[in-house]
Amino acid sequence: MTGRNAGAQTVSEGARVVVSRSFADFTPQATFDIKKCDLHRLEEGPPVKAELTREQGLQYYRTMQTVRRMELKADQLYKQKIIRGFCHLYDGQEACAAGIEAAINPSDHLITAYRAHGYTYTRGVSVKEILAELTGRRGGVAKGKGGSMHMYAPHFYGGNGIVGAQGQLFESYNMAALWKLPCIFICENNKYGMGTSVERAAASTDYYKRGDFIPGLRVDGMDVLCVREATQFAADHCRAGKGPIIMELQTYRYHGHSMSDPGVSYRTREEIQEVRSKSDPISMLKERMLSHNMASVEEFKEIDIEIRKQVEEATQFATSDPEPPLEELCNHIFSKNPPLEVRGTSPWSKLKSVS
């Protein structure tokens, strides 16, 4: 049953009567109050109201739910020892990637650190290619040679292992400010650095002020509309030639730091459950749309079923696709260079590298 035919009730003899609802029955657009951003070196900030169309809402829901299901599947595959090595999951933080992508252009360049699966998806890579990369298969986005921390796409340079290294970060702030670069620096503050809470790690947790001379915003990173509006504001700031800006997105990760971290030795299960019940980005968007008659419960269920099927099909591919052959191990080390010989692990053999 599609969204056009939402709401079916069963009658006697197993017959079904479908109560038809057309798209005309739904509210096409609504305006929502969003949390005011904290500002640093800014006279005004993003708006405190956000417009949402029905199409946008369904798109954001689909994006966030796909990332959520993909990450839960990655958790399962890791525990089955099908995914090995480092694996940093993004569930809980979906509004950040979805909200940022909703406010920038595909031609804009995006660089991130690890916990990059969500951005890899919003940048246009399929679930199949992401999961296959996690399982180290030839059909992965980096041909099975990158894994969780090294995924890339056009205009996306994602998944490197250094997260805001302090010296490099402040050098970048300084250079961006000197050259007035159109750069948005984003801190996804999920409240914990590995197993250490921000309060125990930083004398000042106002990360949006860390640029000092660079303007900053502190944003509700659990609300996709808040993230979208703040990113649009920041992008307009940069495109107007005003130089760099910093955004701190206050968010939360449901899993541990990585798969080797159970995530409950330094925080309580009750804390995680409270965030899930009160601030979950997917539930928040869904409730907003339902309360304004922008979609039906049945429609969301259909999307969920479709996404589950998509993730299962991707999983089937990611667990059956062959691993890359050994002779491809050293390929693509350089770009647009003639083939060269690379010493392999065996002193008696050499591997060829091609671009």
Task: Write the single-letter amino acid at 293.
Answer: N
222 in the same domain as 335? no
Over residues 4-57, the pLDDT tens digits come to: 334 433 333 444 544 446 667 999 999 999 999 999 999 999 999 999 999 999
348 in the same domain as 251? no
119 in the same domain as 32? yes
| Residue 4 forms part of a structural domain | no
342 in the same domain as 308? no
Q: Indicate if the pLDDT at residue 234 is higher than 90.
A: yes
Please report, for the domain that includes residue 106, its CATH number: 3.40.50.970
| Residue 62 forms part of a structural domain | yes
Report the Cα 267 to chain-centroid distance in Å: 23
336 in the same domain as 190? no
89 in the same domain as 124? yes
| Residue 194 forms part of a structural domain | yes
Over residues 62-110, the pLDDT tens digits come to: 999 999 999 999 999 999 999 999 899 999 999 999 999 999 999 999 9
Please compute Rg for the chain using Cα positions.
22
Report the Cα 9 to chain-centroid distance in Å: 37
| Residue 175 forms part of a structural domain | yes
What total number of domains does the chain contain?
2
279 in the same domain as 170? yes
| Residue 3 forms part of a structural domain | no
Q: Which domain holds residue 300?
A: 27-323
| Residue 151 forms part of a structural domain | yes
150 in the same domain as 270? yes
pTM (2 decimals)? 0.89
Residue 245 binned pLDDT confidence (cut-offs 50, 70, 90): very high
267 in the same domain as 181? yes
First to last CA, the chain: 48
252 in the same domain as 117? yes
Over residues 147-195, the pLDDT tens digits come to: 998 999 999 998 777 776 677 889 999 999 999 999 999 999 999 999 9
Q: What is the pLDDT of residue 60?
A: 98
337 in the same domain as 254? no
Pick from 294, 166, 284, 269: which is nearest to 220 by CA? 284
Pick from 51, 2, 56, 53: which is nearest to 31 by CA? 51
224 in the same domain as 127? yes
| Residue 1 forms part of a structural domain | no
| Residue 18 forms part of a structural domain | no
Residue 245 neighbours by CB under 8 Å, 6+ apart = 183, 184, 185, 214, 215, 216, 217, 234, 237, 238
